[in-house]
Amino acid sequence: MADGILARTERLVWREGTEADVAALHAIASDFDVVRQTETWPWPPDLDFTTKRCLPNPEYEGHAGVVTVDDEVIGLMGVGKGGMGYMLAPTHWGKGFATEIGRAAVDLAFERHDWPKLSACVFSDNPASGRVLEKLGFRVVGPCEGPSAARGGIFPIINYVLERPKA
C-alpha cells in the first residue's frame, strides 16, 4: 500500500484516511439520509466517532479508508473480517461509484485474505445498495433484522453473501 493507497480505479482512489479528511467525512456523516442506512453511525453526528472511523485502526482486520474522486473525499469503504460496508455522499449516488469501488474492495479482500466469503447487510428500504451488491456478484441469503444507531432501533435488513471465486 504505497502512500496508504488501497486501490485505484478508473475514476476513484480508495486510501487510508488522514486527519485532513475528517472534516469532509464528517460533512457526509452529518447527512441523516446517509447514516440512516448504516448500522453503527450515530445521529446526531459525532465528530469523535467520525475521526475514529476515518483514521487507520491497526486492530481492524481488513482494509478501510476514504473514497476520493479528483482528491475530493466522497465516502468511506471498508472490507474486513469477511464483511463489507460503504457510504457515499448523496451528491455522488447514482454514478456507479459504489459499484466501482466495491469491485476494487472485493478484489483486494480476496487477493490479500483467505476469507471463504464476504457478507454485507442492507436495510430493506435501501434497494440501491442491494443493486450494488448484486452487480458485484453478491446473492441474497435471507432477511433478518439489524440495528441502526441513527434511527435508534432494529429494522428489517437483507443479508448478502459473495463466495470466494474458485481458482
pTM of the model: 0.95
Q: How many CB atoms lie within 10 A of CB 109?
A: 21
Dihedral pair phi/psi, residue 26, rounded to 5°: -65, -35
DSSP at 104: H
pLDDT for position 51: 98
- Would you state the cell numbers that stand for residue 148, as one nine-digit string? 441502526
| pLDDT (tens digit per residue) in 111-147 | 999 999 999 999 999 999 999 999 999 999 999 999 9
Q: Where are the alpha helices (DSSP H) in the chain?
A: 22-29, 32-35, 47-54, 97-112, 127-135
pLDDT for position 120: 97
Residues recorded for the chain: 167
| pLDDT (tens digit per residue) in 87-114 | 999 999 999 999 999 999 999 999 999 9
Q: Domains, the chain, ranges and CATH?
A: 2-163 (3.40.630.30)
| pLDDT (tens digit per residue) in 41-84 | 999 999 999 999 999 998 889 999 999 999 999 999 999 986 89
